Amino acid sequence: MARLFGTDGVRGLANRDVTAELALDLSVAAAHVLAEAGAFEGHRPRAVLGRDPRASGEFLAAAVTAGLLSAGVDVLDAGVLPTPAIAFLTADSDADLGVMLSASHNAMPDNGIKFFARGGHKLPDDVEDAIEARMREPWDRPTGARVGRLRTFEGGAERYVEHLLSALPHRLDGLRVVIDAAHGAASEVSPEAFRRAGADIVVIGGEPDGLNINDGYGSTHLDNLRKAVVEHGADLGVAHDGDADRCLAVDARGEVVDGDQIMAILSLAMRDHGTLAQDTLVTTVMSNLGMFQALEREGITVKQTAVGDRYVLEEMKASKLSLGGEQSGHVIALDHGTTGDGVLTGLLLASRVAETGRSLQDLASVMTRLPQVMINVKGVDKNRVDDHEDVQAEVRAVEAELAGTGRVLLRKSGTEPVVRVMVEADNEDRATEAAERLAAVVEKHLAL
């Protein structure tokens, strides 16, 4: 059977895949696993619960609450807040567990359940596996005063905003910023943080009704932000996704500034401030070659990981590094948070603009994005891609033709019989031709 937990918690169609029964069972099992691991020893356990505004979060929050309370865990309900806010509040309040209900950038009908351990860290795979294995088992239920109690987390949003402001190296006075909150979890806290940091703000996508999250707004739909930045004469725009763990940006011309460019800008800013640990950035193999070339010129080392922010975070912790992220806009500033934080990323980016007096366009020009072409080859034996001689011979041939001006990446899908062929080159036509050649070879030799 497929593993219930994905790379970012449990996610699927709400009330079909992610049901109230599942939410309750997962919560009970999580309480049991953590209790037996000693996480609750010597005190009454507490959990922080948050969600994004999608309608299904209401019944899922009730189910998670019921499961935890029935297992003897007190619940502090923080309401609608970003995922990184729940991670922060879990650590800041010394809670034993955090639970976030969100499907991030997915469309409204989906939802998901994500757990944080003490300190606001994502649960390791083995703990998630243990939770899945313990679901629906018989258990000794607490009674009387031993059942959990529910309380509202008073002042949670304010504590999170104050935390964000404390991380800023420079105020934003004089900047006009458009914020696209995706009708999501950051619709209140992101505008509040930018306003208190001194920015003149314009908000779009900031009126969640439970049904409109990510609908035409946010980091996966940038057209409205691009238009608004130009119309309002703003210095820049920032876009979050539904749970605000990512951020993409738009410069004053309405041009998109992606996660790679944001990481390049922040790497240089942190190096200049002496806060870029070991002068090293961590990112995934999917980041654009232009970013690697730019940071190499600047004397900054780039470490690469598999795709997924959890792998970026693991490398950051293991190597004691302070900045990492993904092209999609997940950026982790480990000195200030344990997970990607789109609001913090936007604030830090705007702070760099204000501090230097340079436009976002100018700052982003430190790197040149090379054309990147991706082709998904379906219906193939993905497990043979790394070892098949004919496929690897074609990879070597393309790499020789690119001769340092591009690169090739063949990546197996984690869940489907698909090989993703990615080619970067110094022009679009060259990248497309090479990607199509490689895709044809993969299909010919690995077809099921």
For the annotated catalytic residues, the residue numbers are 104
Is the separation of the CB atoms in 70 and 175 below 8 Å?
no
**Cα atoms found within 13 Å of the Cα of residue 164, Cβ hemisphere only:** 31
Q: Can you state the angle between helices 189-196 and 156-166, rounded to 10 degrees?
A: 40
Helix (H) or strand (E) holding 79: strand 74-80
Count of residues making up the chain:
448
Q: What angle do CA 60, 65, 70 make, to 5 degrees?
A: 130
Residue 35, phi then psi, degrees to nearest 5: -65, -45
Q: How far apart are CA 276 and CA 321, in angstroms?
A: 7
Residue 242, phi then psi, degrees to nearest 5: -55, -40
